[in-house]
Amino acid sequence: MCTKIKFNVPIDDDGYVSLQCPFCREAFKITPSDYEAEENFQLYCPYCGLVSEEGFHTDEIKEHAFDLAQNHCNELINQFMKNMERQFKGNGFASFEAGKPLPIKKPKTLIEPTDMQEVSLKCCKKKIKVQYRVNGAYCPFCGVK
């Protein structure tokens, strides 16, 4: 049994969403349509140039997802405990008390500030945003500078 929890990731005023390199941990931005395009099954980091098929979610998004998953588990456990308490009510041989429910944490609100510098990529005719330009940036789609 697999439960999917969906949540929305905001974009900035220019229509970009933040990503984070799993190797150098630097942040950059691309458009959601580019991120979801089938042909872009792997991305190159614009700063270090290394490539990965996954792992480009930012720390904030990972933390948000973990909090949502944790909350969902805690709700299931809390509900299970309440059901157990109800089931054993009035039973002369054994009793069950649920105790203090597990906490449901409010996840931090995801915010996407409009920052970074827009860069046009001549090779793939796309645009990205990077934090700084030091001798150019690697194209996240073809890996060439």
Please give the residue ranges that form the binding site for other proteins (CB under 8 A).
22-23, 44, 48-52, 55, 135, 143-145
Least distance CB 39 / other proteins (angstroms) = 17
**In this complex, which beta carbon is closest to other proteins, that of residue 42 or of residue 87?**
42
Cβ(139)–Cβ(145) under 8 Å? yes
**In this complex, which beta carbon is closest to other proteins, that of residue 55 or of residue 103?**
55
Task: Report the SS3 class of residue 56.
Answer: coil
CA separation for the pair 41, 36 (Å, rounded): 8
**In this complex, which beta carbon is closest to other proteins, that of residue 101 or of residue 136?**
136
**In this complex, which beta carbon is closest to other proteins, that of residue 24 or of residue 76?**
24
Least distance CB 25 / other proteins (angstroms) = 10
Within a 10 A sphere around the Cβ of 132, how many other Cβ atoms?
9
Q: Within a 13 Å sphere around the CA of 112, how many CA atoms are in the beta-carbon half? A: 20
Least distance CB 43 / other proteins (angstroms) = 11
Tokens of 4: 């999917």
The dihedral over CA atoms of 76, 78, 82, 84, expressed in degrees to the nearest 10, equals 70
Least distance CB 135 / other proteins (angstroms) = 6
